[in-house]
Amino acid sequence: MPLPRPILDDRSYEQLRDELVRRIPVYQPEWTDHNPSDPGITLIELFAFLGENLLFRFNQIPETARLEFLRLLQIPLRPAQPAHVLLALTATDPAGVLVPLDSEARAGSLPFATRTEVRVLPVEARAVAKTAAPQPDQTAEPEVFGFFLRAVDAIGGLSSSEAAACYRAETVPPSGTGPAVDFAQAVDGVLWVAVLAAGNADPAALRKALALNKDAPIHLNLGIVLDRESPSLADLDPCPGAGAEPAGPAVDWQISTGRLDPAGEPVYLALGLGGDTTRGLRQEGVVRLRLPRREEDLGVFPLADPDLAGTGDLPPQLDDATAAKVVCWVRAFRRDGGRFSRVLWVGTNAAEAEQVQKARPELLGTGTGQPDQRYRLIHRPAIADSLTLEVEGPDGWVAWREVDGFHASGESDSVYILDPEAGEVRFGNGVQGAAPQIGRRIRAREYQFGGGAEGNVPAGAVTRLPAFPAVKASNPLPARGGAAAEAVAAALDRIPGELRRRDRAVTEGDFRELAAMTPGADVGRAECLPRFDPKTRNLQAAGVVTVVVWPREDAAHPNAPQPDRELLRAVCRFLDQRRLITTELWVIPPVYRKVAVSVGLQVKPGFGTEAVRQWVELAIRQYLAPLPPYGPSGDGWPLGRRVYGPELEAAALQVDGVEFLNGLEVAGWNGTAWVPGTVLLDVDQVPDLAEITVVDGPPAAPGAALGPVPPDKTPVPIPIVREEC
């Protein structure tokens, strides 16, 4: 039974008018004309009309009251999310220009703050993979085969336990706009990075400047951007827990010394890490490498025989113009022998940045000793965890700690709550959380503010650092993650769910709803699979929760949208703060099963055949679509639900103009061929409509027009690069 909505006064216009007319004989007996033509009756009708409007407003809950409910329930609006971007900086000073943490960069008038310290050096980077290639054919390519034989002879031939691994040098595009290079196909599993002298700088002089810098050892910042396509399950890990990032497999970094050992093998020196936000080259970020202190530990390897170039552990070959600018080589490889994934961009002098700016110190007010004291920051929205709040004490200023609630606080705990969207600081009531005493000054020593969708600037928009005129900035890839603050209407709709969830992810619905609400992620759909382990495919894995997410849109795959790494990470971070500590949480992309549908129909007289065919095709596409508002019930095609022909027939028959169906056939792709009949899906799968054929008459065989579906990623053999004169 639905809850009745209380009506404080339900009288209508007619009831008000009739009641007033009935009172006339009581108060004015001499008034005998009660017809509508009487001026007094007209005034009564006007009063009844105005009274009905007032009662209508009286029965509504005013917006201010609903907002007050939000405040009483302590459910703040979600603040704007700042965009983040990777910057590539350049300078000409051989000693480098030190750009400290929280330096301001600008895209026009829009400020960004750097999150990484960087010494801007006059160097550039070229990342190269030794991508596997077929051995050249002696008959078809005698010249290239001759180069191959000379290289084998130069290394002293191959023993019985060795085999030639032919490769071609594939360079990661320095602009970040070209196709990603798949380092999983590298024959040696190594990421090679050539550090080049920028502009007209002399490589030899630059080696000396780097090693003998007055601040030596200095750090070289390498920015790494992995391919933003959806990762495979093999590249995913369970969510690490709130505030934690797993290190991933250990990666060793080495630098070329320019020396050869007595056996003629190149000598590399291990590099120390000053920081790594890439989790071992598993996500976008910056690696800070500590360069050697000695000039003799930097260099390129001299080769007595040019046929040795690129063989064995030697760096890959570059064209002559690029090779002349090489200062040194840096290489990375996994200690466990694993392979890196696809890399989109590698650059030097990289710094991560967010669309925020730092506020000056502010005096918020003085304490009153009263419970629930509130003070506002000048700038908002504030960035969570960035506020340093201090309250004056007997011995000077004392820093107070930010918490998300006073439930676990005692009467003497120096804690406060920050509402980032409103920029409001709230103190305890003296029983749960201390209250600043009378006359004690309160100040915000530092905090950051900003955020919003305007921070999602395109590539190349960030151009300068105002405090460092000698440094030029650029963002090779667009900024991402910025989102506007939550609207009041959305917050009001969120109240029932918040009261049920208590901002905790426990039930299946909690995980699904919270994942869809991840700030800045723009999640189009989320589903929860309890007890499903995506690695082992175990459907009864105790303590495991898997969340499948879709982006709201995917221009590259409009019919089968896939989340990228950043979206999966954002959902992971958001859910990690709310899940039970004993829950093993996975956030994964959906798995698509290719499906073909063939429809034969009869068009009603008076309808255009082509128009009806197009409408039937659209109806079936929408019925099988994975995102709302499509699908059987408007929530997208359910995970694991079979694709059944008669069900699609029912959807096609709803199209106006279809008299009857001559038949509808469904087929699923099993990896090698189309299999007709009902398509059964695994628990984490949804259909990808690879082909649909709608004809007037008997249906064709499903999948016949498309033919065999090629694998998603087919290695393309490329011959070894020929030497050019």
Q: For 429-470, what is each residue's pLDDT tens digit?
A: 999 999 999 999 999 999 999 999 999 999 999 999 999 999
Q: Which of 7-21, 356-370, 545-559, 595-609 has the lowest mean pLDDT?
A: 7-21
Confidence tier at 160 by pLDDT (50, 70, 90): confident
Answer with the residue of higher pLDDT: 212 or 715: 212
391: which 2 tokens? Answer: 């309250």
pLDDT tens digits, residue range 73-82? 777 888 888 9
Cα-Cα-Cα-Cα torsion 288, 293, 295, 298, nearest 10 degrees, comes to -30
Q: What's the confidence (pLDDT) of residue 713?
A: 41
Tell me what pLDDT residue 64 has. Answer: 64
What type of residue is 574? Answer: F
Among 602, 608, 627, 603, CA closest to 687: 627
Residue 497: CA count within 13 A, CB half-sphere: 18
Reported confidence tier of residue 9, pLDDT bands at 50, 70, 90: low
d(CA 403, CA 565): 30
Q: What is the CA radius of gyration of the chain?
A: 34
Residue 486 pLDDT exceeds 60: yes
Query: Given pLDDT bands bounded at 50, 70 and 90, which one contains residue 335?
Result: confident
Burial of 53 (0-12, 13-18, 19+ CB in 10 A): exposed
CA torsion through residues 362, 364, 365, 367, sign: negative
pLDDT above 60: residue 698: yes
Q: What is the pLDDT of residue 282?
A: 84
How high is the pLDDT of residue 498?
80
Quick one: pLDDT at residue 199? 85
Average pLDDT, the chain: 86
Name the band, by pLDDT with cuts 50, 70 and 90, for residue 707. low
The SS3 of residue 541 is coil
What pLDDT score was predicted for residue 227?
85
What DSSP designation does 91 have?
-
244: phi then psi, degrees, rounded to nearest 5? -120, 150
Please give the Cα distance from 21 to 331 (Å, whole number).
96
CA dist list (Å): 684 to 363, 563, 575, 642, 644 = 54, 14, 19, 12, 17
What is the model's pTM? 0.77
Question: Cβ(526)–Cβ(533) under 8 Å?
Answer: no
Name the pLDDT band for 250 (thresholds 50, 70, 90).
Answer: confident
pLDDT in the model for residue 241: 63
At 708 the pLDDT is: 56
- pLDDT at position 12 is 85
Q: How confident is the model at residue 714 (pLDDT cuts 50, 70, 90)?
A: very low
What secondary structure letter does DSSP report for 436? P
Measured distance CA(664)–CA(693) in Å, rounded: 10
Half-sphere exposure of 211 (CA within 13 A, CB side): 18
End-to-end, the C-alpha distance of the chain in Å comes to 87
Q: How are strands ordered across the β-sheet holding 342-348?
A: 181-182, 342-348, 219-226, 285-290, 272-276
pLDDT of residue 65: 67
pLDDT score at 63: 61
> How many Cβ atoms sit within 10 Å of the Cβ of residue 701?
13
Which range of 2-16, 490-504, 603-617 scores highest in mean pLDDT? It is 603-617
pLDDT at 720: 46
Asked whether the predicted pLDDT for residue 571 surpasses 90, the reply is yes
d(CA 252, CA 287): 12
User: Whole-angstrom Cα distance, residue 252 to residue 254?
Assistant: 7
Please give the share of the chain, as a percent, with pLDDT higher than 70: 93
pLDDT over 70 at 705, yes or no: no
SS3 511: helix
Residue 440 in contact with residue 367, Cβ under 8 Å? yes
Name the DSSP letter for residue 579: B
Asked if 363 and 442 count as a contact pair (C-beta separation under 8 A), the reply is yes
- Structure confidence at residue 310 (pLDDT): 82
- The percentage of residues in the chain with a pLDDT greater than 90, rounded to a whole number, is 49
Residue in the block written with tokens 């690695």: 535
- Encoding tokens for residue 63? 């917006």
pLDDT score, position 280: 87
How much is the average pLDDT of 189-193?
Answer: 93
- The tens digit of pLDDT for each residue in 254-309 reads 999 999 888 888 999 999 998 899 888 888 899 999 999 888 889 999 887 777 78
Q: What is the mean pLDDT of residues 643-669?
A: 92
Residue 167 in contact with residue 204, Cβ under 8 Å?
A: no
Q: Which residues contact 409 (CB under 8 A, 6 or more apart)?
A: 403, 415, 428, 432, 433
3-state helix vs strand vs coil in the chain, percent to 5 = 20, 30, 50
Residue range 580-598, pLDDT digits in tens: 888 999 999 999 999 999 9
Per-residue pLDDT reduced to its tens digit, 519-553: 888 899 999 999 999 988 999 999 999 999 999 98
Higher model confidence: residue 67 or residue 322?
322
Q: Quick one: pLDDT at residue 8?
A: 56
Mean predicted confidence (pLDDT) in 474-490: 88
What would the pLDDT profile of 200-223 be if each residue is shown by its tens digit?
A: 888 999 998 888 888 888 999 999
Residues 381, 382, 384: CA angle, nearest 5 degrees: 130
